[in-house]
Structure 1
Amino acid sequence: MNIDQLLVMLVFLCTVMSLIFSKKRPASIFAMSMLALVILQQITVDSILNNLTNNGLVVLVLLLLVSHSIDKTTFIVRLGQAIVARSYTKSFWRLFTVTFGASALLNNTAVVASLITPLKHNQYHPASKLLIPLSYAAILGGTVTLIGTSTNLIVDSFLLDHGHAGFNFFDFTLFGLTAGLGCGLLLFLLSPFLPALKSGEQEIKSYMLEAEVELDSPLIGKSVEQNHLRNLPELFLLEIVRQGKSITPVSPDDIIQKGDKLVFSGNAQKLDTLEHINGLSTFAQTSGLLSNNLTEVIISNRATIQGKTLKQVGFRALFDAAVVAIRRDGEAISGKLGELTLQAGDFLVLATGNDFAGRENLKKNFFIVSEHKIKRKLTQLQERLTLLGFLLVIALAASQILPLATGLLFYIATLTVMKISSLTEIKRNLPLNLIIVIVGALSLANALESSGLIAMATSYFLPFLAQFSPSYAPIFALILIYFLTVLLTEFVTNNAAAALMFPFVYGFVTAMQLPIMPYALALAFAASASFISPYGYQTNLLVFSASEYRFSHFAKIGAPISLCFAIIVLSMLVWVYF
């Protein structure tokens, strides 16, 4: 082993050990690896810049940027509200079907992030009975198509970097769909072993929020339960004000009528949940004011507005703001928001206009507590354009009519023109950390190959495989690659595991003169198969943080799921390719 090989080996081992034992972000670790390789003259700056233009990396970045626009739609929110039922069996299969299907086309991390809150606040089942299945369904669904998970695109980027054609859109589908359905059935059979944990949520200060049923609302004529108004995150339907009369408590069977005022109690920062329900208007909207910013204030003891209602004050004209929620400590309040008598010490959440900050009467009436950014509601036209446009791009790419990168680029441009997204949002959502991880991994792979370390490792490995018959050696190599990658992905992130293993996989396959496709697929599936540890995959980490889970909860359910997934994927790869 010469000096160059020793230096590259040292950088590689330090990278792996840092990923396993260090608490630093993978992006920081790979950035230091690149810097070390440049200083040691094992790679050049030109090669790093060349890795930045890798087609697979470009597609991944564009997909992540697009996912932020899709997340603005009510599609996933509406699905989430319809998932939970009284029956756990029905809830489980609804959850699995929605998450599995959505994760095949959308970013599976975004899908899980959108569904966590409705599941946490459902009224029928402990959240811990649903959150692990949510994460596992997202992982399984992500393996069905090329774009389902970033891991698939990372392996694709390595194939392209080595001069191969890369994956087709549906190369994963046969294997991922079969393994996903099989593991879904096993997960349901194991669901009695999921823990029933109490939620450790922080206490939320309950505000009163009001929303009005619009005249042409699709909610009209349906019950409260049919409209999923009892499963809203951190919001409870307190009463219905109908023709000046109050209906409380609200029954799940109460029918919504036009003109009803729905009064909710809960977290005012969940106002966007109400605004995203088709056919409901918040008090701010009916007052002629929409804003992405919420400002929380307290009414001063010197306020001129105390003792008056919002309508008497002419609040909208006086402050260029509309009250969307109110809270009064030590006293329950109810009734129509506009007719409540304001008191000193009342907390108000305001949707503010452009002139709000400049009004001279603010200091006389309010103490400003905080500001909160909420998601901007899309119009129906914008929602349809966002969803149908994305499906069109995917269909054109899947049928090989238009390259995925080209379609996504034009799609993002259309979203910007239609004001669904903006250049500021694109810059803010640029996944810089993931870019650094992939470019760093590509650069490390270049150094491993150019230094001859891959060839050396292959020369040690081939005599071991030579002990097997020619018909069994490729299969044994496939199994070994799969389980080594699974072992690595449970300790480091799925993306890092795929990136670190690919150069060795490619070296072995090339030396054995085997087709790359089954081994690349095995690598991609294995890197995503992080079921045992809550730290190996981002969806596991999301649900782990959202509940009171322990490591053992994942290990108990994840170990049989991981084994089932491995058996199905490897068996099918052998059946198709060998």
Structure 2
Amino acid sequence: MNIPDIPNNHALAMLLVTVVALYFFRRDDIPLETSSLAVLVILCLLFTIFPFEINGTHLEASSLFFGFGHEALITVCGLMIIGHALVRTGALVPVGRYLAKLWKISPGLSLLITLIVAGFLSAFVNNTPIVVLFLPILTNVALRTRTDTSGMLLPMGLATLVGGMTTTIGTSTNLLVVSVASDMGLPRISMFAFATPALIAASIAIAYLWLIAPKLLPKRTPSLPDTSPRIFSAYLNINEESIANGTTVAEVLKMTDGQMNIQAVQRSPEYQNIVPFPDTKLKVGDRLLVKDYPDQLKEFESATHTTLFSGSHKVDENHPLNAEKQTLAEIVVVQQSGLVGRTLKEVQFAKRYGISVIALHRGGNAMEIGRRSIGHVPIQTGDVLLVQGESEQIDELKENQGFLIIDGAAELPYSQKAPLALAVLFFVIAVAAFGLLPIAISAMCGTLFLLITKCLDWRDLSVALSSQVVLIVVASLALGSAMMQTGGADYIAQMFVALAYDLPPAGVLSALMLMLAVLTNVVSNNAAAVIGTPIAISVATQLGLPVEPFILAVLFGANLSYATPMAYKTNILVMNAGGYQFSDFIRVGVPLILLMWVTLSFLLSWIYL
């Protein structure tokens, strides 16, 4: 084994920055946008303070900003916008409705068709809107048929990841690998260039997700176990025996340790509402409008010696609490909601939407916080808010682009603009597939058409774009470029070749894919892909082998993000909606990774080497 010589100082610095970047990307307590920007700033400062020259060429620190105008980023943004248009206009809703009807006829066949359709759609559209479409449909099916969601949601989520690796536009990871390889002078990989090995592997994966994965998953309780309202509006009637008689609102609140939230004071003869100021004096005949959990309401009744009424009836066994027109729903927070990093109190969530937040689920579990403390907790992507409100309010909230609503009952929105949005998607794909226009240009043409036809407006565009995706792409491209230019990528490739010197070419290819598969489940798959691409090119060059299969090994390996919830953003959405645990992803994801790794390693070696 020939150990390569130590590279130059800048290359060593790049290796150190790469380790630091991977550490930052792995941290859950640091926003990925912040980590990405920090990596970009560190790179720029490093090359400004310590200039780097190679073969008489000076590396300008400002050139590392090239990612902001890179074709890959333009394409990713364009496709995110088009995907958002499909959700906004309800263009994919008919697919969901037909599948929902089929579930009543044959659940087993329906699951297979769902997996195939989810995978097929994800080959051309970012998989987040696909998951957003299918989660409420499958949850609805489970609630109405009284079946377990465990065997549905996780296989569906993983099917979208499998489908996304079959074309160059299926994921941002694919686009980055193809673009970086093109930047380094390799021929441009066409949209369906690797469809043959990808489709064979995807077919095997779908069969696994259909027949085996559901049996590996234990029954899990979703974060919305039932559909009965949790919060009730009721009245506390003040009578002569009540210790609240003759006291002020502030004094009554002290009787409940400040727990009671008085909505209004109603005073006869016509029970007009009186604003509950702290010094408002209460008297016999007044009734306090309160809203809380049933057990809390009973405690308030006991503490104030009042009588609890719901409507015109005293609350007892014969007349239990009743929440008319109220319904429960789950809101899964996605990046575009405007809530990420902020608290519900800061955005005035209850006042803006007229909905009560009952519980907050994070990482598949309910957070141990009181309902009144929920408003002070910073919200993260993938959090699930259990809310209660009138059906009309829930329906209005569905129109907000930043929320995934899972109520298991209501219909998904559908508009007359849906056919236009679908037509734009087909146009963008067809024009790029036939080589008439580069995908970046066709995606921008599609975006312009969506604006002209008013399928979307500029506010929708700003909602569709994810700052997280933009910055991780830019930072990853900058880091990959710096590693290549300084020789850091070559050094890693030399070390990799030295360690794998006893392996045949097929073994080196397989080892590279496995390394990327492990990396993508720990850090961002985009970062893993961009860092791995120049290494793959260098490895193939040093071995004197065709470059394309090694590029595809990186592309496929970086897509095998099945084993951890944090490996891909849709994994978090599925985890929260289905009540899955970390171990469920390992139980289903690790065998799927091994299955795909073996299959793709064989196919790439057989077809290309």
TM-score scaled by structure 2?
Answer: 0.65
| Matches of 1:181 and 1:13, distance apart in 2 | 36
Counterpart of 2:36?
A: 30
Gap runs ≥5 in structure 2: 1-5, 53-58, 232-323, 332-350, 357-388, 402-412
Residue 4 and residue 80 in structure 1: after superposition, are their counterparts in 2 closer, same or farther (change >3 A)?
same
| Matches of 2:397 and 2:128, distance apart in 1 | 24
| Matches of 2:355 and 2:17, distance apart in 1 | 54
Matched AA of 1:151: T
Q: CA deviation at 1:172?
A: 2.8
Q: Report whether the alignment pairs 1:151 with 2:173.
A: yes
Q: CA deviation at 1:297?
A: 9.7
| Matches of 2:64 and 2:112, distance apart in 1 | 45
| Matches of 1:460 and 1:428, distance apart in 2 | 44
Structure 1 range deviating more: 19-28 or 162-171: 19-28
Counterpart of 1:419?
A: 454
TM-score scaled by structure 1?
Answer: 0.68
Residue 465 and residue 118 in structure 1: after superposition, are their counterparts in 2 closer, same or farther (change >3 A)?
closer
Q: Could you say what secondary structure the match of 2:123 adopts? A: helix
Q: Report whether the alignment pairs 1:112 with 2:131.
A: yes
Q: CA deviation at 1:513?
A: 3.1
| Matches of 1:146 and 1:370, distance apart in 2 | 36
Q: For 1:383-402, list aligned pairs within 5 A.
A: 383-402=418-437
Q: How many residue pairs were aligned?
A: 431
Q: Could you say what secondary structure the match of 1:195 adopts? A: coil
Q: CA deviation at 1:181?
A: 0.9
Q: Could you say what secondary structure the match of 2:88 adopts? A: coil
Matched AA of 1:129: G
| Matches of 1:6 and 1:555, distance apart in 2 | 34
Counterpart of 2:79?
A: 63
1:158–1:502 contact (8 Å) kept in structure 2: yes
1:296–1:349 contact (8 Å) kept in structure 2: no
Matched AA of 2:111: F
| Matches of 1:155 and 1:78, distance apart in 2 | 34
Residue 105 and residue 454 in structure 1: after superposition, are their counterparts in 2 closer, same or farther (change >3 A)?
closer
1:141–1:148 contact (8 Å) kept in structure 2: yes
Q: For 1:246-325, list aligned pairs within 5 A.
A: 266=327, 296=354
2:65–2:478 contact (8 Å) kept in structure 1: no
1:105–1:147 contact (8 Å) kept in structure 2: yes
Percent sequence identity is 25
Structure 1 range deviating more: 452-461 or 62-71: 452-461
1:482–1:523 contact (8 Å) kept in structure 2: yes
| Matches of 2:187 and 2:470, distance apart in 1 | 22
Q: Report whether the alignment pairs 1:552 with 2:583.
A: yes
Q: Could you say what secondary structure the match of 2:447 adopts? A: helix
Q: CA deviation at 1:450?
A: 2.4
2:181–2:534 contact (8 Å) kept in structure 1: no
Q: CA deviation at 1:121?
A: 2.6
Counterpart of 1:540?
A: 571
| Matches of 2:441 and 2:484, distance apart in 1 | 31
1:269–1:372 contact (8 Å) kept in structure 2: no
| Matches of 1:31 and 1:182, distance apart in 2 | 39
Residue 12 and residue 119 in structure 1: after superposition, are their counterparts in 2 closer, same or farther (change >3 A)?
same
Counterpart of 2:163?
A: 141
Matched AA of 1:192: K
Counterpart of 2:488?
A: 453
Q: Report whether the alignment pairs 1:13 with 2:19.
A: yes
Q: CA deviation at 1:383?
A: 1.7
Counterpart of 2:10?
A: 4
| Matches of 1:96 and 1:417, distance apart in 2 | 34
Counterpart of 2:600?
A: 569
Residue 383 and residue 370 in structure 1: after superposition, are their counterparts in 2 closer, same or farther (change >3 A)?
closer
Match among 159, 164, 169 for residue 191 of structure 2: 169
Q: For 1:38-437, list aligned pairs within 5 A.
A: 38-41=44-47, 44-84=60-100, 85-86=103-104, 87-122=106-141, 123-124=144-145, 125-190=147-212, 191-201=214-224, 205=229, 266=327, 296=354, 372=397, 374=399, 379-380=415-416, 382-437=417-472
| Matches of 1:105 and 1:541, distance apart in 2 | 21
- Superposed CA RMSD: 3.0
Q: CA deviation at 1:557?
A: 1.8
Q: CA deviation at 1:348?
A: 6.7
Gap runs ≥5 in structure 1: 208-262, 271-292, 299-346, 352-368
Residue 265 and residue 164 in structure 1: after superposition, are their counterparts in 2 closer, same or farther (change >3 A)?
same
1:486–1:530 contact (8 Å) kept in structure 2: yes
1:296–1:350 contact (8 Å) kept in structure 2: no
Q: For 1:497-536, list aligned pairs within 5 A.
A: 497-536=528-567
Q: Could you say what secondary structure the match of 2:77 adopts? A: helix
Q: Could you say what secondary structure the match of 2:92 adopts? A: helix
